[in-house]
Amino acid sequence: MKLEINNVTKKFKEKTAVNNFSMEVQSGECVGLIGPNGAGKSTLIKVIADIIDPTMGEVLLHGKKISKMKKEIGYLPQYPNFFQWMTAKETLTFMGQLSGIKKEELLSCIPEILSKVGLSGEENTKVRNFSGGMKQRLGIAQALLHKPALIVMDEPVSALDPIGRREVLNIIKEIKKDTTILLSTHILSDAEEICERFVIIKSGEKIEDTTMSELLTRNSRNKINVDITSRSQKWIEHVKNLNFVKRVEVMGNKLKIEVENIDSNKNMLLANALEHNVDLIRFEIDNDTLEEIFLKLVVEK
């Protein structure tokens, strides 16, 4: 499986919601499409799911136009629309029939999919009585019903409370094992736990395509936080004299050590501490938090 988004532009009259956007998703990946509100995430996802046509550009799956490959793609909208009076089973039967799945097939795959999203036992509960997390899991079930190779989810956890968020993140972790995933969110830390790769969109344009570790290293401040016990105080004077150490801030037993190059110096510093038998409590790279990185990216660029 390979999804290719080639130079997609989507205009609504004068408004360009997505501008010359290209990216690829390879089989087995879980990619986060991250951007602030109004960035163009939902528009791009609708183009990918073949809900709306792009003004320019194309989306290919296995090298074929997405409109010919709808069976291979599952879509969870940002605001899934359920009939409150239907039960979970009725909802999936209805939606499955809409997407052309045979009745007999639905009989066997609905229990299977309900169990996959942790809703076994709720098949006869009305959607009206579902929590936010349960509704979202039913939405995921609906998107997976025809066993697509790729599932695209538009802000699957953004509107949920912490419990619902946890439920849905756990389900996505399971689905990830056998389905390629592209999901959007406006909260970078939501994607942190499940996505290996991040594509950042701002004002309809792609501004980043990177991994979490690359993002964190790039934004590291060349500082290392080291906590020691009082019996290792002598080491502090020694650290100050190391040739790769630029500055040391000392607050009791907590040190903030600025080095010349975090990549090459971090292990040298750790080796030095071990060599001096330092009683370490914490040894940690002082990175920007994800929120700080995200704000820098979407505000400054």
Nearer to ligand ADP among residue 36 and residue 111 (C-beta): 36
Nearer to ligand ADP among residue 43 and residue 142 (C-beta): 43
In the complex, the smallest distance separating the C-beta of residue 39 from Mg ion, rounded to whole angstroms, is 8
Binding region for ligand ADP (CB under 6 A) out of 11-19, 135-143, 175-183, 262-270: 11-19
In the complex, the smallest distance separating the C-beta of residue 81 from Mg ion, rounded to whole angstroms, is 15
- C-alpha span between 105 and 163 (Å, rounded): 33
Nearer to ligand ADP among residue 41 and residue 165 (C-beta): 41
Q: Give which of Mg ion, ligand ADP, none residue 39 binds (C-beta under 5 to 8 Å, depending on kind).
A: ligand ADP
Nearer to ligand ADP among residue 36 and residue 132 (C-beta): 36
Q: One-letter amino acid identity for 268?
A: M
Q: Summarize as ranges the residues that interact with Mg ion (CB under 5 A).
A: 41-42, 78
CA nearest to 133, candidates 176, 87, 86, 167? 167
- Residue 153 interacts with ligand ADP (CB under 6 A)? no
Here the contacts of 112-115 (C-beta below 8 Å, separation 24 or greater) are: 113/141, 113/144, 113/145, 114/88, 114/89, 114/141
- C-alpha span between 92 and 109 (Å, rounded): 10
In the complex, the smallest distance separating the C-beta of residue 37 from ligand ADP, rounded to whole angstroms, is 4
Nearer to ligand ADP among residue 19 and residue 179 (C-beta): 19
Nearer to Mg ion among residue 44 and residue 297 (C-beta): 44
Q: Give which of ligand ADP, Mg ion, none residue 188 binds (C-beta under 5 to 8 Å, depending on kind).
A: none
Handedness of CA 19, 23, 29, 35 (dihedral sign): negative
Phi, psi values for residue 212, rounded to 5°: -60, -45
Spell out, one character per residue from 15 to 54, where the chain touches ligand ADP: x when CB under 6 A holds, - when not. x-x-----------------x-xxxxxxx-----------
- C-alpha span between 214 and 24 (Å, rounded): 18
In the complex, the smallest distance separating the C-beta of residue 31 from ligand ADP, rounded to whole angstroms, is 15
Q: Tokens for 77?
A: 């909208």
Q: Which helix (H) or strand (E) holds 131?
A: none
In the complex, the smallest distance separating the C-beta of residue 124 from ligand ADP, rounded to whole angstroms, is 34
In the complex, the smallest distance separating the C-beta of residue 156 from ligand ADP, rounded to whole angstroms, is 13
CB 142 within 8 Å of CB 80: yes
Q: Give which of Mg ion, ligand ADP, none residue 185 binds (C-beta under 5 to 8 Å, depending on kind).
A: none
CB 77 within 8 Å of CB 111: no
Q: Which helix (H) or strand (E) holds 98?
A: helix 88-98
Q: Give which of ligand ADP, Mg ion, none residue 17 binds (C-beta under 5 to 8 Å, depending on kind).
A: ligand ADP
Q: Tokens for 259?
A: 């080095």
Q: Tokens for 20?
A: 């010359």
- C-alpha span between 23 and 105 (Å, rounded): 35
In the complex, the smallest distance separating the C-beta of residue 158 from Mg ion, rounded to whole angstroms, is 9
> Residue numbers of the site for ligand ADP (CB under 6 A)?
12, 15, 17, 35, 37-43
